[in-house]
Amino acid sequence: MLGQWLDWSLDGQLPDKKQGVFPSGSYHLYAPGVLELTPNTASHAAHACIFSAAIHGNETAPVELIGEWLSRLEAGSAILGAPVLVILGNLPALKAQQRFMTTNLNRLFKRELRAEGEEPERARALMAAVDNFYARHSGLPKLHYDLHTAIRDSRYPRFVVEPFADSSTDAEQWDWLAAADMQAVLHQHQHSWTFSHYSKHYHAAQAFTFELGRVAPFGQNDLASLKPMLALLTALSEGHSPAHQPASQMQFFKVQHELIPHSDDFQLCFAEDTANFNRFEPGTLLAQDGEAGEFRVGDTPLHVVFPNANVEVGARAALLVAPVT
């Protein structure tokens, strides 16, 4: 039954039977792409967990990873010990195998959202699903792992973005992430209105955006490299303490600057296929804008993350980051 969930979600319809059981718990299909799992017996160490994927429709490795985890639950080889909300975000884009249909869903998770259209409506539905899930499990610590893959190569193929919020990140989270073979952590410097940011900002959840390699079609992902990540998801869903490794194994970065187009006459002044975390030396010209002029690296080297010149005026074209020392 759980193995058919992806097919039901892509069809955009719910089966007649929206609730059922599996060896260690029960499931409830609230909407296409929104599945809640409830354990028969909750562990004393359980979190209220949200695992989300396909916020961008062409990022398939997280969908396959979640599918493998669900298959283990259905087979009884993994035991559910914590409530888990599983979300597939942008279903039309997932079906079309493109990043989004009209608007980047991962910039819309803000309660004051006024935009209209398919993706804004989906953002509202997912925010409500998160609110209701955390309300149903208000006595448990909250956690949200939003799983992605990057559109380009990276000098750290597996890295994590920590959203900006007033609430702090528990120290144990870094040890869990290191054991899951994450290689770098990027601390956001301001509100970004991504899905993980929503859970951290509004619910004080332990929340991260994971970049798990590079975008690839279904069936072409390197899932072997994600076995430590699967082990982390499994441990959390079982209500167990995950494996630990020293956080010092990861390189930590902090955002220093954003490159934002101020006019249509904007360009990034480096190769389009430049890898995430590529380093630029002082004085290097990084961007030119018809209104804002040139941007050059100052006295300290900077690394670029998520460069994309094909964004609207006022949107982020790149993050410039520096190692945390």
d(CA 86, CA 79): 16
Residue 147 exposure: Cα atoms within 13 Å on the Cβ side: 26
Residue type for position 234 = T
Annotated catalytic residue within 36, 59, 211, 238 = 211
Q: What is the DSSP string of 208-272?
A: EEEEEEE---TT---GGGGHHHHHHHHHHHHTPPPP---GGGSEEEEEEEEE--SSSSEEESS-T
Q: Where are the beta strands (DSSP E) in the chain?
A: 19-22, 25-31, 34-39, 48-53, 84-88, 142-150, 158-162, 184-187, 206-214, 251-259, 266-268, 278-280, 285-289, 293-296, 302-305, 318-323
Q: How many other C-beta atoms are found inside a 10 Å radius of the C-beta of residue 255? A: 18
Cα–Cα dist 264/180, whole Å: 41
Whether residue 211 lies in the annotated active site = yes
Torsion of CA 75, 78, 80, 84, to 10 degrees: -90
Residues marked active site are found at 211
